[in-house]
Amino acid sequence: MNRLFLVYLSLLHPWAVQQLPHLEILWQFAPTTELSFFPGQEHLIQFQQWTKQLEIDSYWLLEDADFQSAVHLFKNPPDPPTLAKATGQVEGEPGLRSKLEIVDDPQNWAVAKLRIPLSLYGFDFVKKPERDNDGQEFIACQYLLKVKLGAVEIPLRVDAAQRYGKAAVLFWWKDQQEQIAEQISQALAETEIANQVVEELSCLVCYAVQILALTERLEIANRVKRKGVQDV
């Protein structure tokens, strides 16, 4: 099981127990007992180490087994979500996804053959009020970070979610990958970097964003746990 997904589920468990105690019995159907743990200091340390590695040399992800297994999510994404504002229901719009032309093994990607240093840093999570095309207010949740490819520094802004009251539209990995690819492509427009490299690089950065976001969440969860508060 993907380590990022495992930690994400374990972070959800304490909240679910408080909010939906009548469903706690269903936890016994989890495919592995590993889902019953609460991420501790050792998990935080591991994610912090990954974050430091991303700041030094982000190419290590190409050899990571979890990233390799996640490539199919970029190649075979779910339908993009839309929000029916009248009902608060989130639905998919089939057939609107573009296909990525990347091979299954990241170690065989064109980006793996680059001799240009790559690092990710300056991660932040921000929320701000905005209005959509219909004039309706929502809270935009976004990730901010910087990608440095050689001497080129690329600031990125990646959508995480749009919240309309209690309803929310989440941006899937493919949505985020496409946003990242567009911003990287614009930043590298005057270079000789091939579009294939941009697509592969956007997948790597998108997956790294999930690591950085979970690292921040783990830091919050561990601070709260030390204070003896269960709701994270």
SS3 string of 13-65?
A: HHHHHHHCHHHHHHHHHCCCHHHHCCCCHHHHHHHHHHHHHHHHCHHHHHHCH
Span 36-46, average pLDDT: 69
Centroid of chain to Cα 96: 21
Give percent above pLDDT 70 in the chain. 71
Which range is least confidently modeled, 91-95, 155-159, 209-213? Answer: 91-95
Tokens of 139: 């809270």
Of 206, 6, 3, 186, the closest CA to residue 102 belongs to: 206
Tokens of 157: 């802004």
Find which of 98-102, 206-210, 228-232 is predicted with most confidence, using mean pLDDT: 206-210
Residue 178 has pLDDT above 70, yes or no: yes
Taking the C-alpha atoms of residue 99 and residue 62, their distance in angstroms, rounded to an integer, is: 20
Amino acid 137: pLDDT = 93
Burial of 112 (0-12, 13-18, 19+ CB in 10 A): middle
Taking the C-alpha atoms of residue 44 and residue 216, their distance in angstroms, rounded to an integer, is: 9
Give percent above pLDDT 90 in the chain. 43
Q: Work out the mean pLDDT of the chain and round it to a whole number.
A: 80
Residue 117 has pLDDT above 90, yes or no: yes
Residue 23: band (very low, low, confident or very high) from pLDDT cuts 50, 70, 90: very low
118 SS3 class = strand
Residue 28 has pLDDT above 80, yes or no: no
Residue 230: band (very low, low, confident or very high) from pLDDT cuts 50, 70, 90: very low
Span 47-51, average pLDDT: 90
Amino acid 172: pLDDT = 82
Amino acid 232: pLDDT = 42
C-alpha dist (Å) from residue 84 to 87, 95, 210: 6, 18, 27
Better pLDDT: 171 or 157: 157
Residue 133: band (very low, low, confident or very high) from pLDDT cuts 50, 70, 90: confident
Of 128, 160, 130, 131, the closest CA to residue 143 belongs to: 160
If residue 199 lies in a helix (H) or strand (E), which one and from where to where?
A: helix 195-226
Q: Where are the domains of the chain?
A: 59-218
Sign of CA dihedral 22, 25, 31, 36: positive
